Amino acid sequence: MRSFKNTFDLYDWDTLEQDIYNISSNDVQRVLGKEKITLEDFKVLISPAAKPFIEQMAQRSQALTKKRFGNTIQMYLPMYLSNECQNICTYCGFSMTNKIRRKTLSDKEILKEVAHIKRLGYDHILLVTGEANSTVGVSYLKNAICLIRAHFSNISIEVQPLDQDDYESLIEEGLYGVLVYQETYHKATYKTHHPKGKKSNFDYRMDTPDRLGKAGVHKIGIGALFGLEDWRVDSFYTALHLKYLQKTYWKTKYSISFPRLRPHEGNVEPKVEMTDADLVQLICAYRLLDEDVELSMSTRESANFRNNIINLGITSISAESKTNPGGYAVAPESLEQFEICDARSTEEIKQMIQFQGYEVVWKDWDETFSKSV
């Protein structure tokens, strides 16, 4: 069976870390002079030595992004369906041990949320759940997709990892994309943050994009949760994962997200801080590595940061997201998974994007493309 694990096992975390921190300014200049950026070059671009070259990287990232994606920003919105969860994730508000009111949306409630979301203008939707396979399993997800597919051109999910045949059955119902973040590629650290539940299985999670690729999904989103481990090493592994997937499942589109730890119920402090400058450096490094990968930015980040970042390589963003099930219309006051930072309305974000000379794209897919498979 083809699996990223074979590639992953060729690398050693500590050696990579040492490599990245030993990179010199000369290395960076050499790489910036190249036209084609390789995975080895990416290592150089995310190193501390590349920090002084951030403006140069940003300029190049902007030009590459405009060439490929034009003057456009894609809009999407997450819709939380459930906060039931049988996992313990030390950094997450939905973690099993947190004493919060658990809620899973009914059909009626889903449609109420949908009506609200449609009024805001969205056509690309991301369905989010915790991991509670008995109540929010494949049949629940299938039902949810059937319920909403007439209302959205593009449906993605960010839920528990599933088996290949489960993904296949959801794709048949109209599923377009799946986001699944490894959180960290550091195996020991992963274990300490996921001590209990199905999620504690590092290998099964890391193998998820392979199962998705085999199932033939249109888009796979990957990423690491920044704060658990050194962001540079985790990002190198993410890039390694991306390149492996692109070569192996060449018909699939890929996206990268950059979640940084946010305050939530049951706090954990970031082990490794990632500054705004670090995040900009990383986004630009990804763009230089890959002209075509979608780079996505959520409302976890501040208004000021988001205003500036859409010029630098980001291709899709959300606005006024609610991270609690029913947060848009059913139960706006319930507890969120994490605090969002940029709470501006969709209309405000739209105006901000247009003011910067970009077209806001609501629809860039058609459900009939998925249906005809």
Partner 1 sequence: MKDVLKIADKTFNSRLFTGTGKFSSSQVMQEAIVASESELVTVALKRVELDNESDNILVHLKEKHMNVLPNTSGVRTAKEAVFAALLAREALGTHWIKLEIHPDPKYLLPDPIETLKAAEELVKLGFVVMPYVHADPVLCKRLEDVGAQCVMPLGAPIGSNKGIMTSDFLEIIIEQSNVPVIIDAGIGAPSHAAYAMELGADAVLVNTAIAVSQNPIQMAIAFKLAVQAGRMAYKAKLASKKQYAEASSPLTSFLNA
273-332 residues near partner 1, rule: CB under 8 A: 292
> Among 26, 36, 101, 368, which residue interacts with partner 1 (rule: CB under 8 A)?
368
Count of other CB atoms within 10 angstroms of residue 92: 25
Nearer to partner 1, 91 or 249 (CB): 249
Q: Are 43 and 20 in contact (CB under 8 A)?
A: yes
Q: CA 301 from chain center: how many Å?
A: 13
Count of other CB atoms within 10 angstroms of residue 369: 13
Count of other CB atoms within 10 angstroms of residue 5: 13
CB of 229 to partner 1, least distance (A): 29
Judged by CB under 8 A, the stretch of 45-53, 112-120, 243-251, 344-352 that binds partner 1 is 243-251
Nearer to partner 1, 63 or 115 (CB): 63
The answer for residues whose C-beta is within 8 angstroms of residue 97's C-beta and 6 or more apart is 88, 266
Nearer to partner 1, 103 or 219 (CB): 219
> Among 67, 101, 269, 333, which residue interacts with partner 1 (rule: CB under 8 A)?
67
> Among 3, 17, 48, 66, which residue interacts with partner 1 (rule: CB under 8 A)?
66
The site for partner 1, by CB under 8 A, has a size of: 29
Q: Are 344 and 305 in contact (CB under 8 A)?
A: no
Nearer to partner 1, 173 or 364 (CB): 364
Q: Decide if residue 251 touches partner 1 (CB under 8 A).
A: yes
Judged by CB under 8 A, the stretch of 4-12, 201-209, 317-325, 357-365 that binds partner 1 is 357-365
Q: Decide if residue 71 touches partner 1 (CB under 8 A).
A: yes
Judged by CB under 8 A, the stretch of 21-29, 45-53, 268-276, 351-359 that binds partner 1 is 351-359
DSSP 267-315: ----SS---HHHHHHHHHHHHHH-SS-EEEE-TTS-HHHHHHHTTTT--
111-140 residues near partner 1, rule: CB under 8 A: 123
Nearer to partner 1, 123 or 210 (CB): 123
Report CA-CA distances (Å) from 369 to 176, 213, 267: 10, 18, 43
Nearer to partner 1, 178 or 261 (CB): 178
> Among 142, 151, 253, 271, which residue interacts with partner 1 (rule: CB under 8 A)?
253
Residue showing tokens 């969002």: 340
> What's the one-letter identity of residue 164?
Q
Output phi, psi for 105, to 5 deg.
Answer: -70, 140
CB of 291 to partner 1, least distance (A): 9
> Among 4, 42, 69, 152, which residue interacts with partner 1 (rule: CB under 8 A)?
69
138-157 residues near partner 1, rule: CB under 8 A: 153
Q: Decide if residue 68 touches partner 1 (CB under 8 A).
A: yes
DSSP 129-156: ----TTTSSHHHHHHHHHHHTTT-SEEE
- What are the residues binding partner 1 (CB under 8 A)? 66-72, 123, 153, 246, 250-253, 292, 354, 357-359, 361, 363-366, 368-369, 371-373
